[in-house]
Homo-oligomer: A and B are copies of this chain.
Amino acid sequence: MAQQHLDPTDPTAEVVNGDALAAYLCAQATEFLRALRLHRETGGTTAGGAEESVDAARLLRRSARRISGSLHTFRPLLDPDWSEEMRPELAWLSGTLGLEHAYEARLERLLLALHRLSGATVVPAQAVDVVPAGGRAAGAARVGAAALGAAGPASPAPERGNLTVGAAKAGALLERQLTLARTRAHSTALQALGSSRFHAVADKVAVLASEVPLTPTAPTTDLRPLAAAAEERLTDAIGALPLVTAGHPYNAEALVHGLSPDPSPHPQDGPWHQVRLLLRLHRYAQEVLRGGSTPVDVGLLAAGQALNRHRDASEAAAAAAQAARTPRIAPATAYALGVLHADQRHEVEAARFAFQQAWQKQTVSAP
């Protein structure tokens, strides 16, 4: 499908109607079921299977997000009762499956930063055994193993040999806290995958793979105004961001309130997180219009990556601040956590700058 077909104001463009939406949803539902099968096949194995299990969970979340996003953007074309029941379940699933990986990535980010701040060179930790594996029966047995693995050699963290005492203690504290959170998330994910709630979602997705509950008028309804509305919501939200400030390097905005008594998350990050979600919805809508193929729009990709980095750094900074509130820590540990927090807040600022640059290019290069 050529570029001009995507402009909803172009009267010569081909109409993209509800059939395209149905095809997209069917395809994503099929992907979901394939990921689920892969997950069940690889989940029971150990070591070698762990990586495949990670991929399976990632694919499950990937298709769940796309189905959920399309249900939102193209709501008027779908049976409202079904749609409204489906979306929160998909969000629950995607969120539950993503938490364990998020904690692991956060820990890795913080340990790498501690090494960077100590002037040490590090080989980043490999992602191992990140995601809940196995079905109901295997699950309970693996919780203990994962907890062990996270703290043991199965999940190698960057070495702390070169860290100073404060940085080393800060690293150990963060590892303890985030590993605990990760273990809990792992356990929750296992429970979720074994729950009747999950089976109900999986059943619904299985039905979706063969039959999409479109409204009677959907097959002749043009999708493009709805996709355009999604894009407009995105550009409106971007327009409300402080992009002029963000475009000035070293504006020191992200660390304002860095010592405010209000705990994380920073309220100033909210609008950026929101844009991240709207950008994703826009991308999925474009996929629907393009018959399922991912738009290779380098600017959009760069903007999205900057917002992912923004989110990651924001949450890492909050984790460092949170760890500093642990009772009875040594002053040197608290100092290192303060440096680390500020470092990650500057990553937040750097990510905003990167987004501003990417978006500027995007709007300049757009027709």
Q: Which A positions have Cβ atoms within 8 angstroms of B?
A: 114, 116-119, 163-167, 249-250, 252, 255-261, 324, 329-343, 346-347, 349-350, 353
A166-B337 Cα distance, complex, nearest whole Å: 13
A336-B334 Cα distance, complex, nearest whole Å: 8
A338-B260 Cα distance, complex, nearest whole Å: 14
Contacts of A164 in B (CB 8 A): 259-261
A83-B347 Cα distance, complex, nearest whole Å: 51
Q: A342-B339, A346-B342 are in contact. Are A114 and B259 (CB under 8 A)?
A: yes
Q: Which residue of B lies closest to A162 (CB)?
A: B260
- Selected from B250, B256, B330, the residue in CB contact (under 8 A) with A349 is B250
Some 13 contacts from A to B, beta carbons below 8 A apart, are: A117-B257, A118-B260, A164-B261, A166-B259, A167-B259, A250-B349, A250-B350, A255-B346, A324-B331, A334-B338, A335-B338, A335-B341, A341-B342
A250-B349 Cα distance, complex, nearest whole Å: 8
Q: Which residue of B lies closest to A248 (CB)?
A: B249
Contacts of A335 in B (CB 8 A): 324, 334-335, 337-338, 341
A166-B336 Cα distance, complex, nearest whole Å: 14
Q: Which residue of B lies closest to A262 (CB)?
A: B119
A69 CB → nearest B CB, Å: 31
- Selected from B256, B331, B339, B347, the residue in CB contact (under 8 A) with A117 is B256
A359 CB → nearest B CB, Å: 16
Contact yes or no, B336 A117, CB < 8 A: no
A101 CB → nearest B CB, Å: 25
Contacts of A346 in B (CB 8 A): 250, 252, 255, 342, 346
New A-B pairs, 17, CB < 8 Å, besides A252-B347, A324-B331, A338-B340: A116-B256, A118-B259, A119-B256, A119-B257, A249-B353, A250-B346, A255-B339, A255-B346, A259-B339, A332-B334, A334-B334, A335-B335, A335-B337, A338-B341, A339-B341, A341-B342, A342-B342
Chain copies in the assembled complex: 2
A342-B332 Cα distance, complex, nearest whole Å: 14
A25-B316 Cα distance, complex, nearest whole Å: 58
Contacts of A166 in B (CB 8 A): 259
The 7 closest A-B pairs by CB, nearest first: A338-B338, A342-B342, A249-B249, A250-B350, A331-B334, A335-B338, A119-B257
Q: Which residue of B lies closest to A257 (CB)?
A: B119
Contacts of A329 in B (CB 8 A): 331
Contact yes or no, A255 B117, CB < 8 A: yes
A337-B340 Cα distance, complex, nearest whole Å: 12
A350-B338 Cα distance, complex, nearest whole Å: 20
A219-B350 Cα distance, complex, nearest whole Å: 56
A326 CB → nearest B CB, Å: 8
Contacts of A341 in B (CB 8 A): 335, 338-339, 342
Contacts of A338 in B (CB 8 A): 334-342
Contacts of A257 in B (CB 8 A): 117-119
A350-B340 Cα distance, complex, nearest whole Å: 18
A322 CB → nearest B CB, Å: 11
Q: Which residue of B lies closest to A119 (CB)?
A: B257
A331-B333 Cα distance, complex, nearest whole Å: 8
Q: Which residue of B lies closest to A333 (CB)?
A: B331
A116-B226 Cα distance, complex, nearest whole Å: 43
Contacts of A116 in B (CB 8 A): 252, 255-256
